[in-house]
Structure formats: structure tokens, C-alpha cells
Amino acid sequence: MRLLFKQRFFSWFDSYDIYDESGNTVYTVKGELAWGHRLKIFDASGSEVGLLQQKVMVLLPKFEMYEGENYIGCIQKEFTFFKPKFNIDCNGWQVEGNFFEWDYTIHDANGNTVATVTKELMNWTDTYAIDVVEPGDALRVLMLVLAIDAEKCSRN
């Protein structure tokens, strides 16, 4: 399953549209005014399906992920000198790749690929291609991509 993740050009808060390969809207992400990033994720019918909430008052950026009301895990930046690294507490997943160029792969605990993320260049806004192996993982993969993007935006 391929998703195209596009940040909206004119938006006061973080807002994104996520499309499938045919150009149909699969998810819409709307940022809210809050301390730290708070992103609500809606499906194509407009129902809220997920929430990504940045924890404040922590030393390094940390984002909690929710499907509906259920806490499903978190992603936290680790202290490193050169290459950004993240600790993921969700499904035993790990992220490997080049965060500076925004090309990375998400693996499960057995080393199997869950998704690959590639930043598309030459666009007015942040645009990523997300290839998800199992469509059922799409929402959780999207939350990880949003958290990594939000951390990078905060850092810059």
C-alpha cells in the first residue's frame, strides 16, 4: 500500500493530507493549538481515528500515539551527537535509515520490513511517499512518520 503524505501549503497549524496511489484522500491530519505538537488524524469519512500528542516538560522530544482512546505506544528521540535516533515503543518496531535525508525503513522485531519512507524533493511543502507492507499498519506507520517530521520541524 502506497501513501502520499503532503503538508498543506497554507495552514496556521500542522495540517496534512494523505492520499492513496489513485489520489484519493485516505487520512487528513489537523494540528491543534497546544503546548507541543497535537495532531488529530481523521479517516476519509471524517471520523477521528488517531491522535499524536507531544509530551512537554521532558528532556528530549517524546510523542504518545493513540488509536481512538487507546494508547498504543510512543516514540522518543534519543540523545546522540551526530545522527538522530529514536526509541519506539510500538509493536517492537525499529527505524533505520538516513534521517537527515528523510529516507528510512521501519522494521518489526524479526527484521521484516513494515514500511519504507522516502522524502520527495522539488515540492513546495513536505511530501513523503510511504510504502506500507500490510495495509492494517498504515495508521501506526503514519503516526511514526508524523512524529519524526514534527521532531525535525521543532529542531529546525
CATH number at residue 55: 2.40.160.200
Question: Is it the case that residue 36 has pLDDT exceeding 60?
Answer: yes
Check whether 130 has a pLDDT greater than 50: yes
Beta strands in 45-154 (DSSP E): 48-55, 62-67, 70-78, 85-89, 94-98, 103-107, 113-119, 127-132
Q: Which domain holds residue 54?
A: 2-155
The Cα–Cα gap between 30 and 14 comes to 6
Pick the residue with more confidence: 14 or 123? 14
Among the ranges given (12-21, 47-56, 101-110, 145-154), the one the predictor scored with the smallest mean pLDDT: 145-154
| pLDDT value for 107 | 93
- Domain count along the chain: 1
Is the alpha carbon torsion for 1, 93, 150, 32 positive or negative?
A: positive
State the pLDDT at residue 139: 94
pLDDT at 128: 85
Amino acid at residue number 123: N
The tens digit of pLDDT for each residue in 43-65 reads 999 999 999 998 877 677 789 99
Q: What is the pLDDT of residue 11?
A: 47
Q: What's the rounded Cα separation, in Å, for the pair 146 and 16? A: 9
User: Which H/E stretch holds residue 147?
Assistant: helix 138-155
Span 6-35, pLDDT tens digits: 776 554 557 888 999 999 999 999 987 666
**pLDDT at position 102, please?**
74
Q: Are strands 2-7 and 15-19 parallel, antiparallel or unpaired?
A: antiparallel
- CA 6 from chain centre, in angstroms, equals 12
Mean pLDDT of 129-141: 95
Mean pLDDT, range 92-100, rounded to an integer: 79
Record the cell numbers describing residue 130, joined without a space: 510511504
